[in-house]
Amino acid sequence: MNTQYGSEFTRKLWTDLDHILLVYVGAAAEFALVEENHWLFYTEKLPSAPLDRLVSTFVWNQKVMTTSRCDAETLAKTIREFHHQVERERGREEGGHPKISNEAFRAVGAMLIEYALLAEAYLEKREVSAVEKENYYFDQVGFFQAMGIDGWEESYQLFHENHEQEIREQLKVNKHSTDLFKSYRKDLGAFRYGLLVQFMAWFVPDPISEELKLKKSAWFKPLFYLYPLLHGRAVTKIIHRTLLPPRVLKGLTAV
């Protein structure tokens, strides 16, 4: 029997655009501080469309969490092959046999885990249960392991504790952080970028916000606390069209 991959809770998170957008917000902030992700800049040039790279990651994860177990294994191999192609291209340009580290893959996986759960707590205004956290964690980890990414903790609680420590002790502004945020601004425009930065400031863990020097503006506070009340209503479609570049919205709703 070719059953669906993942739990009902996992599929709920990855079939709701607001949940995906908040993973997008959190990951865009944390990604800028993860030095292991310097592989993305192997030509020493900023990617021309960093937001598209993030969207691509989320779209693939959405496909995985809404497909059959058999197809999920095929997707895992396909995604890993994309990264092998990046490694081969880098090898042709720089020589040698460069590899994207397990730590770089794991850092992105951690973002997909943590920010989806933070999004659920924020949007539904509730504490996510321990059972839901464990189910979601193992759904994600099962797929990451199929990609060949290892080093995962035996429980969500242990993973969460270790990730919190990594955020406090390891995530620092690096030589690409500022350029990445400049690229976000160029890609989004001043208005959308301003909203993105404010959502980051109010949404991401304090150590990340402090390291990036994100300032919480008082004018944004009521909007941040109002948004969950609008979640699931027709007005959110208008908000999505206002906040997102058309190609980004199309990419995130294509699955």
Band (45; pLDDT cuts 50, 70, 90): very low
Place of tokens 């990264």: 83
Distance CA 22, CA 2 (A): 31
Helix axes 190-203, 177-188, angle to 10 degrees: 130
The answer to whether 183 and 50 are in contact (CB under 8 A) is yes
Hey, what's the torsion of the CAs at 115, 151, 107, 26, to 10 degrees? Answer: 10
Q: Residue 154, exposed/middle/buried by CB under 10 A (0-12, 13-18, 19+)?
A: exposed
Q: Lowest mean pLDDT: which of 76-80, 197-201, 233-237?
A: 76-80
Reported as type and span, the H/E element at residue 252 is helix 246-252
Give the pair of three-digit tokens for residue 113: 């885990």
Domain boundaries, the chain: 8-252
Q: Please give the distance of CA 105 from its chain centroid, rounded to a whole number.
A: 12
Give the pair of three-digit tokens for residue 56: 């691509």
Task: Point out which residues pair with 68 in neighbouring strands.
Answer: 4
Tally Cβ neighbours within 10 Å of residue 229: 10
Per-residue pLDDT, averaged over 127-156, amounts to 94
Residue 188 has, within 13 A of its CA and on its CB side, a CA count of 23
Q: Is 100 helix (H, G, I), strand (E, B) or coil?
A: coil
Distance CA 199, CA 221 (A): 9
Give the pair of three-digit tokens for residue 70: 């058999």
Ramachandran sector of residue 45 (left: φ over 0; alpha: ψ -120 to 50; beta: rest): beta
User: The pTM is what?
Assistant: 0.88
Distance CA 146, CA 139 (A): 11
Distance CA 85, CA 88 (A): 5
pLDDT at 203 over 70: yes
The answer to whether 228 and 122 are in contact (CB under 8 A) is yes
Q: Let me know the angle formed at the C-alpha of 114 by 230 and 191, rounded to the nearest 5 degrees.
A: 50
At 50-100, the pLDDT tens digits run 667 667 777 777 777 777 777 877 888 888 777 777 777 766 766 666 677
pLDDT at 12 over 70: yes
pLDDT at 83: 72
pLDDT at 202: 97
Per-residue pLDDT, averaged over 189-206, amounts to 95
Per-residue pLDDT, averaged over 21-46, amounts to 77
